[in-house]
């Protein structure tokens, strides 16, 4: 087939899938598919709850579909419509379970669904983060089972790891170099050319699916380990009475010092991907030391923040069981509504263990989603005063808060986990 003959279906319309559907929809016939019918209805009304979509681009791609049967973007939750497409790009979530093990359920369910609709010559490209080998060892058998087709004879696969950075309006999809790969030399070239047609920053064609999968895993594992180092420094320097950020500012004057900041490490990438890599390593009989030690440090930072606040409250003679604390922010990063794998919940739960009355305020987060995911009822506005305030997420809107008006007394404590607020207005920072 010529490149113009490809009809692309994007499976999953979250932070990764929707921007991809919009860009491909400007040049190809594209179906944005999601099993969540309310999501489809929202997008048809040009409403994006993730705030990631270029709404002008979205409207343009949808308008193209209305004027040209072979171009533009349509949305659907109807699996029968997938039969009209020949390239399928899977962008479903790949989380971890309560035991920190990879949860491939969404990925395998998507593969099962596609196995029932793919035809000879079709290509299935995965973007979901996985461990090296997952596409061919876990997904391909499901595709073969439900399609009755043979891999690399009747249908083909590609892997191109997502590099979406939620909330970033500068480094958007087309501005970030894309790693691509295919299950044969010819398919690798097709996959690369497809992405190359929309990615302004260019592509990097990896020699195999496994190499592309591994590249994604180590990108975020590397950042996780680096952040865990400065988090461990924060734990050490706290015992010394030294401000970690002052140390980093001083060390950062050396030209080759990597200036990472301490903090909570959550989200769908850095806090999850290292566990996928560790899982694969352990299945091969190797127990990773550095990767898992970094994860342990970072996973305990929420508990450290909560306990540090309690110590500060005690130092100011507060009765802990009668204290009231405000946590500012619940999303996993600043100016973004994404709450997946947010480590702020660790702070909240630890404070509640001390019988502290905790309010959580976040104007960016969806109140219903937070309630469903974490069992927390967000407050709509800040009406009370508090013995302690924790700045957990550095939303720009929080800079406009009058911190003194949040205090219940002069002995109230304000703890900044992001070194975001005016230093003269806070009691401590991470």
How crowded is the C-beta side of 210, counted as CA atoms within 13 Å?
5
Sheet strands side by side (includes 87-90): 72-76, 29-33, 7-11, 87-90, 123-126, 156-159
Catalytic, out of 134, 139, 157, 269: 269
Q: Which residues contact 205 (CB under 8 A, 6 or more apart)?
A: 180, 181, 188, 189, 192
Three-class SS state of 392: coil
Contact in structure between 231 and 298 (CB atoms under 8 Å): yes
* CA distances for 414 relative to 45, 205, 239, 262, 386, angstroms: 42, 49, 19, 18, 10
Dihedrals phi, psi of 88, to nearest 5 degrees? -120, 125
The whole-angstrom separation of Cα 146 and Cα 339 is: 34
Phi, psi for 269 (deg, rounded to 5) = -120, -75
338 contacts 15 by C-beta, under 8 angstroms: yes
Say if residues 202 and 177 touch (Cβ distance below 8 Å).
yes
Cα distance between residue 162 and residue 184, in whole Å? 21
In the beta sheet, which residues pair with residue 309? Answer: none
From residue 392, alpha-carbon distances to 243, 354, 376 in Å are 18, 19, 15
**Chain centroid offset of residue 319 CA:** 38
Distance from C-alpha of 429 to C-alpha of 410, rounded to nearest angstrom? 18
* Paired tokens of 248: 């980093």
Of 319, 269, 274, 280, the closest CA to residue 295 belongs to 274
Give the Å distances, CA to CA, from 172 to 31, 52, 192.
21, 9, 19
φ, ψ at 217 (rounded to 5°): -60, -40
**Residue 139 annotated to the active site:** no
- As a whole number of angstroms, the distance between CA 271 and CA 134 comes to 19
Just list the catalytic residues.
269
């Amino acid at each position: 087939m010529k490149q113009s003959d490809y009809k692309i279906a994007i499976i999953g319309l979250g932070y990764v899938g929707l921007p991809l559907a919009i860009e491909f929809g400007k040049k190809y016939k594209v179906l944005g598919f999601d099993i969540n019918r309310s999501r489809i209805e929202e997008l048809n009304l040009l409403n994006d709850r993730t705030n990631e979509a270029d709404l002008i681009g979205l409207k343009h791609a949808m308008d193209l579909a209305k004027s040209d049967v072979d171009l533009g973007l349509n949305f659907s939750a109807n699996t029968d419509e997938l039969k009209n497409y020949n390239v399928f790009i899977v962008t479903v979530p790949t989380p971890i379970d309560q035991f920190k093990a990879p949860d491939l359920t969404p990925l395998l369910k998507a593969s099962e669904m596609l196995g029932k609709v793919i035809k000879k010559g079709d290509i299935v490209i995965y973007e979901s983060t996985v461990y090296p080998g997952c596409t061919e060892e876990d997904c391909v058998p499901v595709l073969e089972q439900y399609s009755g087709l043979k891999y690399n004879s009747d249908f083909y696969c590609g892997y191109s790891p997502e590099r979406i950075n939620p909330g970033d309006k500068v480094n958007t999809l087309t501005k970030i170099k894309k790693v691509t790969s295919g299950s044969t030399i010819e398919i690798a070239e097709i996959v690369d050319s497809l992405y190359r047609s929309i990615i302004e920053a260019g592509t990097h064609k990896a020699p195999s699916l496994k190499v592309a999968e591994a590249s994604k895993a180590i990108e975020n594992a590397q950042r996780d380990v680096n952040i865990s180092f400065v988090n461990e420094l924060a734990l050490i320097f706290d015992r010394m009475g030294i401000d970690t950020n002052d140390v980093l500012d001083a060390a950062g004057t050396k030209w080759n010092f990597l200036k990472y900041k301490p903090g909570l490490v959550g989200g769908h990438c850095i806090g999850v991907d290292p566990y996928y890599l560790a899982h694969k390593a352990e299945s091969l009989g190797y127990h990773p030391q550095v990767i898992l030690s970094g994860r342990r440090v970072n996973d305990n930072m929420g508990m450290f923040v909560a306990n540090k606040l309690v110590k500060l409250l005690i130092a100011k003679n507060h009765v802990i069981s009668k204290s009231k604390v405000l946590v500012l922010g619940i999303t996993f990063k600043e100016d973004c509504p994404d709450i997946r794998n947010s480590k702020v919940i660790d702070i909240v739960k630890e404070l509640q263990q001390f019988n502290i009355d905790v309010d959580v305020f976040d104007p960016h987060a969806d109140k219903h989603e937070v309630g469903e995911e974490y069992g927390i009822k967000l407050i709509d506005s800040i009406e009370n005063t508090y013995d302690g305030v924790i700045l957990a997420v550095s939303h720009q809107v929080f800079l406009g808060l009058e911190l003194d008006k949040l205090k219940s007394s002069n002995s109230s404590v304000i703890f900044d986990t992001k070194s975001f607020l005016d230093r003269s207005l806070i009691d401590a920072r991470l």
